[in-house]
Amino acid sequence: MVCIPPDIAHLMGVAKKFVAIREKKNWQAVKWILRYLKGTGQYYLCFDNNDDVLEGHIDANMVGIMDTRKSTIGFLYAFAGVTMS
């Protein structure tokens, strides 16, 4: 059995966007996120499967938007059939 803590990267990315714009409602959202993280620190994702396989899929489009010259990338990682990131 493998147990890992849940991924908090998405929450931290959201908090970073909120902090950049200094408004009261944004700080309230950041405080909510921090309270959520504090309350869920003891939880773990546990995988009990004989097919413990880590799979990764990536797709990229280099300079796909010609006006802005920006590239896009997407990825998906799954472990034992459960999406992780």
Rg (the chain; Cα; Å)? 18
Question: Based on the domain organization, do 31 and 60 belong to the same domain?
Answer: no
Torsion of CA 12, 45, 79, 13, to 10 degrees: 0
CA atoms of 30 and 16, how far apart (whole Å): 9
pLDDT tens for residues 10-62? Answer: 777 777 777 777 788 878 877 887 787 788 777 776 766 666 778 888 888 87
Q: Domain range for residue 24?
A: 1-48
Question: Based on the domain organization, do 30 and 61 belong to the same domain?
Answer: no
Question: Based on the domain organization, do 77 and 44 belong to the same domain?
Answer: no
Question: Based on the domain organization, do 67 and 77 belong to the same domain?
Answer: yes
Question: Based on the domain organization, do 55 and 44 belong to the same domain?
Answer: no
Give the pLDDT score at 52. 73
Domain count, the chain: 2
**pTM strictly above 0.75:** no
> Helix 24-39 crosses helix 9-20 at what angle (to 10 degrees)?
160
- Which of 11 and 76 is assigned the larger pLDDT? 76
